[in-house]
Amino acid sequence: GKCPFCRKEFSQTLAIRDMADTDLSKNIDIVLKLANELDSDRDTVRNATNNFNMTLYVIPSGTIVSLQGLVNATERNGARGVVKMYNQETGRYNVALDGSNSTVSVRPTKLLQHARVRINGIVNKPEMNDQEGTIVSWCHTNDRYNVETQQKIVSLKPKNVILVPETVVRFVGLVNKQEMNGKWGTIKQWIENSRKYEVQLTTQRTIIISMENVRV
């Protein structure tokens, strides 16, 4: 007959193998769960980063703006309104116009932000320096901002107005980095010694740029 000891040893071997298979299955489940959680965390970080990066080039909701450079609706050039939202799919802003119930969809380059500024670097009228004001329009013929101060509206070059931090700006007129022209970023600070801005493009990238090379 068969050896009882051999049958017992074989049964124990099967039991050990079954336990090992069960433990392996549990470990695989744990590894898969951790991998899914890691992927989820990565997606969360990626989405948060993308959302933050978008805020760096999007004019915030509630910003007062004017319409400019419209070709098919020239009668609306100069009209004032408030940014309601940015449509990422169309790349346009929805702007609620003052004095009406209408909302228009406008490309970023057709908007002028009524940004707060501080006047600086005026040589022939030094008494104007350090006055604060608000940009109300842009003159294309002489490339100047019209800035409303407490006393009056003055015409100033971009190099004579300091934009406040967190202002969203567009890059223009760059020669050595032409690929940056037309891109947007957020001013982090004005560097007085060099008279340049530090502008943040993404969570990990900033650029130092001359005052003449940004527009609102």
Consecutive 10-residue averages of pLDDT for the chain (216 residues)? 52 59 65 66 52 73 95 91 94 93 92 97 92 95 94 94 96 93 95 96 91 96
CA dist 80 and 87 (Å) reads: 20
pLDDT of residue 203: 81
pLDDT of residue 52: 46
| pTM: predicted TM-score of the whole model, two decimal places | 0.74
pLDDT of residue 36: 72
Report CA-CA distances (Å) from 164 to 15, 129, 168. Answer: 73, 15, 10
CA dist 105 and 103 (Å) reads: 7
CA dist 94 and 105 (Å) reads: 5
Residues facing residue 208 across a β-bridge: 198
Sheet holding 144-148: strands in order across?
153-156, 144-148, 132-139, 116-119, 161-163
Radius of gyration for the chain, computed over Cα atoms and rounded to the nearest angstrom:
30
pLDDT of residue 62: 96
Q: What is the dihedral of CA 89, 209, 166, 120, to 10 degrees?
A: -140
SS3 label, residue 144? strand
pLDDT of residue 17: 60
CA dist 113 and 18 (Å) reads: 71
CA dist 198 and 178 (Å) reads: 18
